[in-house]
């Protein structure tokens, strides 16, 4: 595959957007193609749809094209039931792959847990795939009064005290939630942070939160933050936010950190049609449509494939290769260290590794620059891929990985890819970064605007 810009530390990169487009173009040229419709049902009978074409023969290239797109759709939109409307051989392959014994067992288990239903794949015809049915949710933006916002990440959490939309106090605190089996660890950290923020407010009118993971009705259904919690204690951990709301007695709303990223972009830029990407301990994504609505999609793009190279690194949690978490996060930086020729202690944590790379970047180290150049090229191709599924004109990019000169390089290279490879997109898609302080705590401030206070 010929790329107009090749990642300097990852020459084997196979961008999903180009592989997909090349496949569809070849199928059309062959003349031997049929329609394929994928439907995904999630809570309350909501349905997302994706329509494409495939070769009539279920060859290896076709099966890879369909499976990778099903995987992307599943983590972009969410769902406990997949409808495959097309050739039976393709539907049967997806049914086998996305099963308790299939290669995507991880995905089946998490979707079943998130939506509280047994995961299933239905093989059908294009005409019988259910119609689109979407939810439309108010997207926050409530700024009046004294509010607390928090943002829970895997290596640190942020809290802000906000008065009429202005932050009067912000704080970052390191923690290690992924290895803690006692839910009280998580509760006490969050509760203490709220009290520290409250000390800077005349009163607390509302609390809003941003957290990694799948959040449904202020409950954490699935999250890496709670990976060490025993199954018997999980309900207690999942109910932490409702416990806090009861104690404080004020409106409290917690949303997925990606959607709060999109909200932060909409508030700061006063725009709609916003894709938000946070590059922190993992990749978080969120989306606000051009009508200013949040549609209830899953947007867990950390698990969505962006690189079709069969030799791409495997995600340590899902076991899948080429997924977003390894391209747009601290994990991406760590993954690229050997190719960059940077040696760090094996027992050093990813946040510390990022700090070392940032320090090298500040000194003008060319090895560190190549890491950021690689991530930037990844980003340019992947934004074009996201645009095939999300309708946006603006992208807000923030998170610890984007701090400093390295973050500037990431944006520069992403823009260069769009200009060279996708000029029609470069003309309509604008990339935005907040200032240094907002890059790190902007989500906490945006989260504070989530609850509506009814007088």
Its pTM stands at: 0.85
Q: How confident is the model at residue 44 (pLDDT cuts 50, 70, 90)?
A: confident
* 63: helix, strand or coil: helix
- Give the β-pairing of 33-41 and 47-55: antiparallel
Lowest mean pLDDT among 130-139, 272-281, 352-361: 130-139
Radius of gyration of the chain (CA): 22
State pLDDT tens for residues 7-23.
Answer: 999 999 999 999 999 99
Whether pLDDT at 442 is above 80: no
- Give yes or no for residue 443 having a pLDDT over 80: no
Mean pLDDT calculated for residue range 30-58: 95
Residue 217 has pLDDT above 60, yes or no: yes
pLDDT at 436 over 80: no
pLDDT in the model for residue 255 = 87
> Concatenated DSSP letters for 326-385?
GTSSHHHHHHHHHHHT----TT--HHHHHHHHHHHHHTT-HHHHHHHHHHHHHHHHHHHH
* Angle (CA) 53 59 60, round 5°: 105
Residue entry with tokens 């950190």: 257
| Over residues 91-117, mean pLDDT | 94
Please state, rounded to an integer, the average pLDDT across all residues of the chain. 92
Give yes or no for residue 455 having a pLDDT over 80.
Answer: no
Extract the tokens encoding 11: 């020459």
Region 443-450: what's the mean pLDDT?
A: 86
What's the rounded mean pLDDT across residues 199-204? 97
Cβ-in-10-Å burial (0-12, 13-18, 19+) of 182 comes to: middle
Mean pLDDT value of segment 237-261? 91
pLDDT at residue 435 in the model: 63
Write the pLDDT tens digit of every residue in 161-189.
Answer: 999 988 999 999 999 999 999 999 999 99
pLDDT at residue 102 tops 70:
yes
Beta bridge partners of 305: 323
Tell me how far apart the alpha carbons of residues 350 and 452 are, in angstroms, rounded to a whole number. 37
pLDDT per residue as tens digits for the range 259-305: 887 887 787 788 889 998 989 888 989 898 888 887 879 999 999 99
Given a cut of 90, whether residue 33 has pLDDT beyond it is yes
Instruction: Please give the average per-residue pLDDT across 33-51, as a whole number.
Output: 95
pLDDT at 51 over 60: yes
What is the arrangement of strands in the sheet containing 120-124, beginning at the earlier edge strand? 47-55, 33-41, 81-85, 120-124
Query: How is residue 188 annotated by DSSP?
Result: H
Sorting pLDDT into bands at 50, 70 and 90, what band is 342? very high
For the chain, domains (ranges, CATH) are 32-128 (no CATH), 146-256 (3.30.420.40), 260-445 (3.30.420.40)
| 448 three-class SS | helix
Q: Is the pLDDT of residue 211 over 60?
A: yes
| CA–CA separation, 421 and 203 (whole Å) | 52
Q: Can you give the pLDDT at residue 19?
A: 98
């Amino acid at each position: 595959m010929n790329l107009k810009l090749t990642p300097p530390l990852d020459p084997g990169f196979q961008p999903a957007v180009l592989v997909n487009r090349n496949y569809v173009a070849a199928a059309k040229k062959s003349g031997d193609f049929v329609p394929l419709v994928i439907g995904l049902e999630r809570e309350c009978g909501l349905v997302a749809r994706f329509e494409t074409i495939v070769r009539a023969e279920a060859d290896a290239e076709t099966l890879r094209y369909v499976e990778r797109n099903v995987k992307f759709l599943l983590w972009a939109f969410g769902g406990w039931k997949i409808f495959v409307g097309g050739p039976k051989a393709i539907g049967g392959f997806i049914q086998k792959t996305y099963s308790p014994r299939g290669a995507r067992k991880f995905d089946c288990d998490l979707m079943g847990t998130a939506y509280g239903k047994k995961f299933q794949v239905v093989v059908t015809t294009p005409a019988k795939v259910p119609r689109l049915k979407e939810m439309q949710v108010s997207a926050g933006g409530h700024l009046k009064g004294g509010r607390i916002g928090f943002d829970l990440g895997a290596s640190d959490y942020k809290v802000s005290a906000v008065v009429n939309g202005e932050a009067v106090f912000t704080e970052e605190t390191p923690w290690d939630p992924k290895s803690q089996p006692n839910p009280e660890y998580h509760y006490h950290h969050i509760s203490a942070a709220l009290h520290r923020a409250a000390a800077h407010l005349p009163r607390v009118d509302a609390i809003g939160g941003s957290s990694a993971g799948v959040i449904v009705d202020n409950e954490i259904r699935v999250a890496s933050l709670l990976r060490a919690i025993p199954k018997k204690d999980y309900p207690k951990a999942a109910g932490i936010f409702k416990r806090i709301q009861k104690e404080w007695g004020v409106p409290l709303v917690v949303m997925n950190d990606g959607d709060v990223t999109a909200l932060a972009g909409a508030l700061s830029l006063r725009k709609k049609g916003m894709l938000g990407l946070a590059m922190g301990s993992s990749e978080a994504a969120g989306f606000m449509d051009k009508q200013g609505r949040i549609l209830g999609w899953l947007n867990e793009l950390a698990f969505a494939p962006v690189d079709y190279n069969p030799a791409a690194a495997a995600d340590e949690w899902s076991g899948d290769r080429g997924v977003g978490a390894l391209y747009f996060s601290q994990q991406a930086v760590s993954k690229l260290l050997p190719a960059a020729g940077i040696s760090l202690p094996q027992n050093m944590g990813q946040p510390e590794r990022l700090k070392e790379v940032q320090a090298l970047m500040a000194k003008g180290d060319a090895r560190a620059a190549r890491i950021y150049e690689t991530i930037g090229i990844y980003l340019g191709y992947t934004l074009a891929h996201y645009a095939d599924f999300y309708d946006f004109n603006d992208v807000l990019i923030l998170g610890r990985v984007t701090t400093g000169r390295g973050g500037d390089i990431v944006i520069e290279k992403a823009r260069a890819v769009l200009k060279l490879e996708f000029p029609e997109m470069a003309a309509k898609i604008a990339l935005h970064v907040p200032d240094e302080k907002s890059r790190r705590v902007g989500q906490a401030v945006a989260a504070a605007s989530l609850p509506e206070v009814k007088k």
